[in-house]
Amino acid sequence: MRISRKYFTLLELLLAISIMVIVFAVVSLSFRTVIISWRNMGRNTEWMRQRLKLSYFADNYLRNITDMTWDDPANDNLADYVFEGTNESLFACSRGRSSSVYSPGLNYFLLKLSERGELLICTSTGVFFPEQLEDELLLAEARAIREEILATGVESLALQYGVFENDGIEWYDEWEPSSYENVLTAAVLMKIVWQNGEEDIFLRRINGAQEFMRASIQKKEP
């Protein structure tokens, strides 16, 4: 009794290998597409999270800035305005809203950009001055100051302060109430340039600043 054996021809082997290569290529391409989509989704989620956080900061801190004076321990305890706005940082006092998760009452904050490209906010329910963050003794006297990262990957931070002058609005890179008849700025503009080249602008008018929105606010003569 003979047992017949069938062997694959060279053509059949080549055809089978070709089909397997095509299948593996399709699977690999699909898998790569899934990975790329997952990474993009993660980047988009982080992109949205940071901008929502910045928008929350603008709505709850910038919009609710209030005028406040306090004895400055770094200046012989002389009364000083709790507001110091420069082009690269902002120190101010803000009113919290009891109807939101934002802390009610007065909150003191300092907004600044670190050398690592992190946009930081230092906050406290007790008054403090920026100098206290640089002096360990003064820092010990201040109430608990919490530091939070608002965003990462920031290339530059530019702040401007708007006031109504001569029937229009003028923007300044610096604002200290003591130099402008002890009045607050009417609005704050925050421009963020990201390390990837994108830009975002957050503009908020200060609540309750309408009484200060008078024409011809003149800077005091030295």
- Residues 60, 52: contact at Cβ < 8 Å? no
pLDDT band at 218; cut points 50, 70, 90: very low
- Count of domains in the chain? 1
Residue 90 lies in a domain: yes
- pLDDT at position 212, please? 46
- pLDDT at position 136, please? 52
pLDDT digits (tens, 9 = 90+) for 68-91: 777 665 555 555 678 889 999 999
Could you tell me the two tokens for 140? 């010990």
Count of C-beta atoms within a 10 Å radius of residue 185: 26
Rounded mean pLDDT of 135-152? 69
Could you tell me the two tokens for 124? 């406290």
How far apart CA 172 and CA 179 sit, in angstroms, is 12
- Containing structural domain, residue 54: 44-212
- Residues 175, 185: contact at Cβ < 8 Å? yes
Residue 21 lies in a domain: no
How far apart CA 46 and CA 31 sit, in angstroms, is 23
C-alpha closest to that of 218 among 182, 181, 188? 181
Residue 129 lies in a domain: yes
Instruction: State if pTM tops 0.75.
Output: no
Per-range mean pLDDT, top range of 102-111, 189-198, 207-216: 189-198
Kindly report the backbone phi and psi dihedral angles of residue 57, in degrees, each rounded to the nearest multiple of 5, phi listed first.
Answer: -60, -45
- Residues 154, 117: contact at Cβ < 8 Å? yes
Residue 35 lies in a domain: no
Of all helices (H) and strands (E), which one includes residue 170? strand 168-172
- Residues 85, 175: contact at Cβ < 8 Å? yes
Give the list of residues 6+ apart from residue 134 with CB closer than 8 angstroms, or none. Answer: none
Q: How many helices (H) and strands (E) does the chain have?
A: 2, 12
SS3 content of the chain, % helix, strand, coil (to 5): 35, 35, 35
How far apart CA 133 and CA 48 sit, in angstroms, is 31
pLDDT beyond 60 at 7: no
pLDDT band at 209; cut points 50, 70, 90: low
Residue 219 lies in a domain: no
Q: What does R_g of the chain's alpha carbons equal in angstroms?
A: 29
Q: What percent of the chain has pLDDT over 70?
A: 68
pLDDT beyond 80 at 58: yes
Residue 31 lies in a domain: no
Rounded mean pLDDT of 156-179? 85
Please name the amino acid found at residue 168: G
* Residue tagged 């820092």 (tokens): 139
pLDDT band at 168; cut points 50, 70, 90: confident
Residue 13 lies in a domain: no
pLDDT beyond 50 at 215: no
Residue 154 lies in a domain: yes
pLDDT digits (tens, 9 = 90+) for 24-50: 777 777 777 767 666 665 566 788 889
How far apart CA 186 and CA 139 sit, in angstroms, is 31
- pLDDT at position 73, please? 58
Q: What percent of the chain has pLDDT over 90?
A: 27
pLDDT beyond 80 at 96: no
